[in-house]
């Protein structure tokens, strides 16, 4: 059983509430939000390999999971509340690194 220190929904809610532009998730470091082009480390323990992998799996579909495994850099969109994020995943020696950048959401007509 894994007792994650961070929940993806909580981190995305923080981005939403603070009006941040990006969320960066890297194993070995605490999460980082980018607000007004300045990085702000979220107070808390570093993310683990399992934390970021589980967060990626929560957002990705099977195609994106395969892309990551064959050393491609999957990029896709993920919606949280009224926010749209462009997710870029990279597999580094430290594990799955995620960069979630806010996008302007298109209104559905």
**For 19-65, what is each residue's pLDDT tens digit?**
999 999 999 999 999 999 999 999 999 999 999 999 999 999 888 88
And the tokens for 40?
């702000």
Cβ(101)–Cβ(86) under 8 Å? Answer: yes
The answer on pLDDT for 109 being more than 60 is: no
Provide the token pair at 44. Answer: 């808390």
Q: What is the mean pLDDT of residues 68-79?
A: 84
Least confident interval from 3-7, 19-23, 55-59, 94-98: 3-7
User: What is the domain partition of the chain in residue ranges?
Assistant: 1-20+46-72+92-104
Residue 45 DSSP label: P
Q: Residue 108: is its pLDDT beyond 60?
A: no
Confidence class for position 67, pLDDT limits 50, 70, 90: confident
């Amino acid at each position: 059983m894994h007792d994650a220190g961070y929940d993806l929904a909580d981190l995305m809610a923080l981005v939403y509430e603070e009006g941040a532009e990006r969320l960066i998730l890297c194993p070995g470091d605490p999460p980082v939000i980018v607000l007004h082009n300045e990085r702000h480390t979220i107070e808390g323990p570093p993310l683990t390999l399992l934390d970021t992998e589980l967060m990626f799996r929560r957002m990705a579909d099977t195609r994106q999971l395969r892309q990551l495994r064959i050393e491609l850099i999957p990029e896709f969109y993920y919606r949280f509340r009224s926010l749209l994020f462009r997710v870029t995943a990279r597999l580094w020696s430290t594990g799955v690194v995620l960069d979630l950048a806010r996008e302007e959401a298109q209104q559905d007509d």
